[in-house]
Chains A and B, each alone.
Chain A
């Protein structure tokens, strides 16, 4: 081996080690922060809601009793966080196989002005067909978001290009409609499936 080759090899190995160290540290911190989010107090999250489904029919939370509700609040104008969460939910449902039959995945808009039943229907065609889109009047979606302690804040903008700040957690509710846990919307589908399977097994359903 020439001196140059040795030098390059040594440099390459050092860089790999450096990368590894960075990743380990960053991932550990990230993991800890995720766990911290999962142990947040579970007092009074969730509750009754009345919304409108993608066929324009009024539905309430009672319609989903007996199933685990997996609720994500978002909006179709959102290009990054919402497709990430919906794609992760889709992957999790697929990974769960027949166990997904116990789950009712709901995508509730925080932007009913733009997200009409037709817009929601079209948008959701890109994701798992079991995901139910829910919209309604602003009063109805605000009430649902409020019940779930979801932070919603539309930014000021000219015209119809406004963005909406919103909580990016997926809420896991048991078949009695009670809050069980939150899953970060950016959790990969495989991991989400494992977590849901464990949650449902723990509850003995």
Chain B
């Protein structure tokens, strides 16, 4: 549904505007990652999803080209669209991050899909995830796990 995309866009813009105020990222890195989290995976589930916000504070575009974690055999970027109630998920080979732009991965929109989950992701644990950008290089993250089907890391979200 285009309306949902609009909502995502509106929210991302707000996050983008709010995110730029503190300017706490070291000058060396133009790519900042905020609020990474993942969902606990049900027992036996082969896939999982992680979500986060990417902010490009530099003056040039960058590109998220790959990601990896010891928890899954591969990691893909997916965009989900709700087309009149039909959920369609498509893999994106990479995600372009334009300068000054905030890209938000969130339930119902884009997600980082863990394929071939090797061990169950349990609520309360954290796990390592490495994002690789074309220019900014590798960024190591620790991802906190919220409950299965949660809409955010914080309770009540």
Interface residues of A (CB under 8 A from B): 12, 15, 18-19, 22-23, 25-27, 29-30, 32-33, 37, 76-81, 83-88, 90, 114, 118-119, 122-127, 151, 161, 163, 165-169, 182, 184-186, 188
Contacts and interface: CB of A to CB of B under 8 A. Distances in A.
Interface of B: 1, 3-4, 6-7, 9-11, 13-14, 17-18, 21, 39-49, 78, 80, 82, 85-89, 107-108, 111, 113-116, 147-151
A126 B17 contact: no
A122 B43 contact: yes
Contacts of B78: 80
Contact of B17 (A15, A84, A166): A15
B42 to A, nearest CB: 4
Contact of A80 (B18, B107, B115): B107
Nearest to B49: A79
Contacts of A184: 85
Main secondary structure, interface of B, reads: mixed
15 contacts: A19-B17, A22-B10, A29-B3, A76-B46, A77-B47, A79-B49, A80-B111, A84-B108, A87-B151, A122-B42, A122-B44, A123-B44, A127-B149, A161-B115, A165-B88
Closest 4 CB pairs of A and B: A87-B149, A126-B42, A83-B149, A122-B44
A45 B149 CA distance: 27
Nearest to B13: A22
Contact of A79 (B11, B13, B48): B48
B97 to A, nearest CB: 21
Nearest to B4: A30
A182 B84 CA distance: 12
A26 B85 contact: no
Contacts of A18: 17
A97 B89 CA distance: 34
Contacts of B151: 84, 87, 188
